[in-house]
Chains A and B, each alone.
Chain A
Amino acid sequence: MSNQEITKVQELIYTTRVESVMAANVVVIDPSMTVSQVKDLMRDRRISGAPVVSDNQIIGIVTISDVIRLMEEGKLNSPITEVMTTEVRTVLKDAMVSEVINNVGRQGFSRLPVVDHDGSLVGIVTTGTLIRSLLLQMDKSFQKNEAEKLYTYRASHIFQDISSDDTSLMLRYVVNERDFDNAGKASSMIKRSLQRLVVRPQIVRRVGVAVYEAEMNLVIHTDIGGEIIVEVRKDRVNIATVDHGPGIEDLKRVLQPGFSTAPEWIRDMGFGAGMGLANIKRVSDVMKLTSAYGQGTRLEIVFNFGPESLALKTDSQKA
């Protein structure tokens, strides 16, 4: 358990950007201020340090220990620009949190001003803002895990909770032609849905491979996109991808591994090698391809759950 939590912190510091852990309202020191005024500012705003900013550019930094030292030296009336630290370590707003930790902990800085790419001040990170936001994110990810467990529990009981002679669940997904930004989204959702239904991981993986190849075929080859229909039954999942054109000219050839009609730019993306249908065939229990040239294509794929059907599975599986 504690091991897992450490891992979560490690993950967060390598994947979280500084921007999301900084305080955006920075108390700044105006270059015209004296040490005495800075002392009052720090007391009133309850801060232990602040950058000196002119035209949104950081020209120095002053901490409370600087102020104490200056008071001892009797320099309360000196202009702050004469006594501030002018070499200021800053961090870019889109740097990872790990960079802050490297600087803040070991180097003895207790705060780092956060800057934009043009060097202007956008926030500040201190050990306090850092710990607060990391704890908040850990709490969020904990809640997300709990929610996922609940979804899985609910979904996996559908075959027990709903009474009928034969229950099945239909899922429909629309796939647009040439929409590479969203290509694979439907497959991803199908995979997640089957996981929530507690389908065996090996079968989920096989369905994922097949449905992803089929989805890419709709994206790459159709004129007006198509639809993926998934029917989850107790003992199997039936998948149909349906489109309305252009259809396949030569069904025999299209089933030959290596045959492809994909244009060059599709191949540059890593697709169109002519292995899609071969892959689907390999991972599925039944595959049926029908097409009328000039009209459309229908691909049907079946995966049998075998001896571990869903109804049996959910009893033994903890949610």
Chain B
Amino acid sequence: MNIRELIDVLQGKMLVQNHDPDEEMPLGGAADLMSDVLAFGSEGMALLTGLTNPQVVRTAEMAGINVIVIVRDKTPPPETIDLARDSGITLIRTGYTMYEACGRLYKAGLPGRGLVKIQNDSW
């Protein structure tokens, strides 16, 4: 799925564009926990989240994520938008809830990570 199709499926709005709309995303993921993003995030992934603070952009940058989709039609603060612009992240907003946004994308063919095993609990 490419960025243009993702926006179509989510009836989304481009807030910050840093990538070609034809750029393909290999998979998608969703989290409100930044540590989860760092744990399962991978290069080129689309991240759906309900958080709007600038740390979302930083986290995505560190995890190599290019595209962030903010769900539930929240408007991110200007700091988040500025940081996204500077750090090469594409920011999109959708009116769907996290559940429905994920469902629509998955149904439209954007795959997830599959079963994830982070680590065993022994150190």
Contacts and interface: CB of A to CB of B under 8 A. Distances in A.
Contact of A281 (B36, B87, B119): B119
Interface of A: 7, 10-11, 14-15, 180-181, 183-185, 187-188, 191, 201, 205, 208-209, 211-213, 216, 255-257, 269-271, 273, 275-276, 278-279, 281-282
A273 B36 contact: yes
B118 A282 contact: yes
A270 B56 contact: yes
Contact of A187 (B17, B39, B53, B62): B62
A213 B35 contact: yes
Given A7-B20, A281-B123, A184 B58 contact: yes
Contacts of A271: 33-35, 55
A contact face: mostly helix, strand, loop, or mixed = helix
A183 B55 contact: yes
7 closest Cβ pairs, A-B complex? A184-B58, A275-B35, A208-B62, A270-B34, A14-B17, A212-B62, A7-B20
Contact of A276 (B17, B32, B35, B61): B35
Given A10-B21, A269-B51, A181 B58 contact: no
A279 B54 contact: no
Contacts, number: 100
A263 to B, nearest CB: 16
Nearest to A271: B34
Interface in B23-75: 32-36, 38-39, 43, 49, 51, 53-56, 58-59, 61-64
B contact face: mostly helix, strand, loop, or mixed = mixed
Contact of B18 (A11, A181, A216, A269): A11
A279 B58 contact: no
A256 B121 contact: yes
Contacts of B32: 270
Nearest to B20: A7
27 contacts: A11-B17, A14-B14, A15-B17, A183-B55, A187-B58, A188-B58, A188-B61, A191-B61, A191-B62, A205-B62, A205-B64, A208-B64, A209-B63, A212-B58, A213-B35, A257-B119, A269-B34, A270-B49, A270-B51, A271-B33, A271-B34, A275-B33, A275-B35, A275-B36, A275-B118, A278-B35, A279-B39
B85 to A, nearest CB: 6
Contacts of A269: 34, 51, 53, 55
A67 to B, nearest CB: 40
Contacts of B43: 201, 205
